[in-house]
Amino acid sequence: MRFVPLCSPVTFLVFFLSVVGVMVLMASISPAQQQPAQRNYEAEIQSALESAKSAAGFEFLGTLARNCLLPQSGGENLSDNVPEYVKDPAKAPPRAAWYAEPAKVFDNFYFVGGKIHSSWALTTSQGIILIDTIYPYNSEELILGGMKKLGLDPKDIKYVLISHAHSDHIGGAEMLQSRYHPRIVMGGPDWEWVEKYPNRYKTMAPRRDIVATDGMKITLGESTVTIWLTPGHTPGTVSYTFTVLDRGKPVNVAYSGGTAFNFVNNTPNPGIRNFQIYIDSQRHLAAKAAATGATVLLSNHSEFDNAYSKNRMLAGRGSGPHPYDIGADWVQRYFKVTEGCARAAQIRLEQKAAERGMP
Ligand SMILES: [Zn+2]
């Protein structure tokens, strides 16, 4: 049988030489002659999300969901309208939607918040430091009613610390200031904010008092709360580190004053810079948490620190570990979640800016 070649030797030689030629040509192009390296935005976003997801574990699923998975809120409300629930208290959410039992969390630290939003009382020999004040429509029952149930006297409130000026945290501040005359501490930009929108903060905004600075110490009796400026969620958001006692043992707390992204569309450069401010604040508080040996991470929403569930676990603690005392590594993981989610969102904005031809 005669062998029939698929192509002639000459054709094969030409083909072979052209393949070798193309390969030599490709290898000879220096990196400088190639297009400038394109960023792989999708890979960068996935890597930031992966870092947040692996940090979250079960402990910070709520934080992960809000900042990485759910649609982000577009930006700050810039209207100056009196809220419906202030105009007509009947329009406030029903009690069943927000009521939670108060709880003694540590020897000298109490939960007086609701199902969703938290308020905390740090007790000292010289009076009480109250942190965050929930809404105008439920602060009286939750904070004052909760304190009374726990055997605390609201007249002992000497300081009210407000993490940021949103109505779910500043709502009870005016009432507390007018009834008990505590000193009120809030970030400078948030003092300006409530003064700029008097209708929006009707019945909520206290008269201007102490302007928080980074590292400011609020000392009452034997307790000191150190304030850290953590702008991001609002320009004046502040966070705290302090020590509580668990059955006599000191336990260090890092309190994150603002978690969700709330500023995406706040500036003409849509948010890239705001995300950097937020990321820098996460790193700032993470460093202070590490330096103070914080093993408890608190916030003003149960969604982020599981306060509501943990209060219920406390009842069955017995001689077991304290459900809030998660250890220094887990406290740091919270900040990896918030930073990773913020970085992913920031890269998305960088990609959009690049597509529009902006640097
Ligand atoms: Zn807020």
Whether 91 maps to a domain, the answer reads: yes
Q: What is the pLDDT of residue 158?
A: 98
Q: How far is the CA of 166 from the centre of ligand 1 (A)?
A: 5
Please list the residues that pair with 225 across neighbouring strands.
Answer: 218
Q: How far is the CA of 78 from the centre of ligand 1 (A)?
A: 14
Q: How far is the CA of 259 from the centre of ligand 1 (A)?
A: 8
Whether 72 maps to a domain, the answer reads: yes
Q: How far is the CA of 68 from the centre of ligand 1 (A)?
A: 17
Q: What is the pLDDT of residue 265?
A: 52
What are the start-end ranges of the H helices in the chain? 9-28, 41-56, 61-64, 84-87, 95-98, 139, 146-149, 167-170, 173-180, 188-196, 272-291, 302-305, 307-314, 328-355
Q: How far is the CA of 165 from the centre of ligand 1 (A)?
A: 7
What's 357's DSSP letter?
T
Low-confidence ranges of the chain (pLDDT < 50): 1-6, 22, 24-26, 31-32, 268
Q: What is the pLDDT of residue 272?
A: 87
Q: What is the pLDDT of residue 5?
A: 47
- Give the whole-angstrom CA distance, residue 116 versus residue 71: 19
Whether 21 maps to a domain, the answer reads: no
In this predicted model, what pLDDT tens digit does every residue of 331-356 receive, in sequence order?
999 999 999 999 999 999 899 888 88
- Give the whole-angstrom CA distance, residue 285 versus residue 332: 10
Q: What is the pLDDT of residue 72?
A: 74
For the beta carbon of residue 69, count every other beta carbon within 10 angstroms: 12
Whether 76 maps to a domain, the answer reads: yes
Radius of gyration in angstroms for the set of CA atoms belonging to the chain, rounded to a whole number: 27
Whether 8 maps to a domain, the answer reads: no
Q: How far is the CA of 318 from the centre of ligand 1 (A)?
A: 35
CATH number at residue 116: 3.60.15.10
Q: What is the number of residues in the chain?
A: 359
Q: How far is the CA of 19 from the centre of ligand 1 (A)?
A: 63
Q: Are 160 and 188 in contact (CB under 8 A)?
A: no
Q: How far is the CA of 300 from the centre of ligand 1 (A)?
A: 9
Q: How far is the CA of 173 from the centre of ligand 1 (A)?
A: 15
Question: What rounded mean pLDDT belongs to the chain?
Answer: 89
How many separate domains does the chain show?
1
Q: Tell the residue number behind the tokens 């390296």, with chain if given.
A: 37
Q: How far is the CA of 301 from the centre of ligand 1 (A)?
A: 9
Whether 146 maps to a domain, the answer reads: yes
101 burial via Cβ count (<10 Å: 0-12, 13-18, 19+): middle
Q: Tell the residue number behind the tokens 């029939």, with chain if given.
A: 4
Tell me how far apart the terminal alpha carbons of the chain are, to the nearest angstrom: 69
Whether 29 maps to a domain, the answer reads: no
- Give the whole-angstrom CA distance, residue 342 versus residue 185: 27
**Which range marks the domain in which residue 292 is found?**
41-355
Q: How far is the CA of 176 from the centre of ligand 1 (A)?
A: 20
Taking the CA of residue 300 as centre, how many other CA atoms within 13 Å lie in the half-sphere pointing to its CB?
Answer: 29
Helix (H) or strand (E) holding 122: strand 120-124
Whether 238 maps to a domain, the answer reads: yes
Please list the residues that pair with 117 across neighbouring strands.
Answer: 301
What's 197's DSSP letter?
-
Q: How far is the CA of 177 from the centre of ligand 1 (A)?
A: 21
24 burial via Cβ count (<10 Å: 0-12, 13-18, 19+): exposed
In this predicted model, what pLDDT tens digit does every residue of 70-86 receive, in sequence order?
887 666 778 899 999 99
Taking CA atoms, 226 is separated from 159, 216, 252, 307, in Å, by 13, 6, 12, 21
- Give the whole-angstrom CA distance, residue 53 versus residue 58: 10
Please list the residues that pair with 241 across neighbouring strands.
Answer: 226, 254
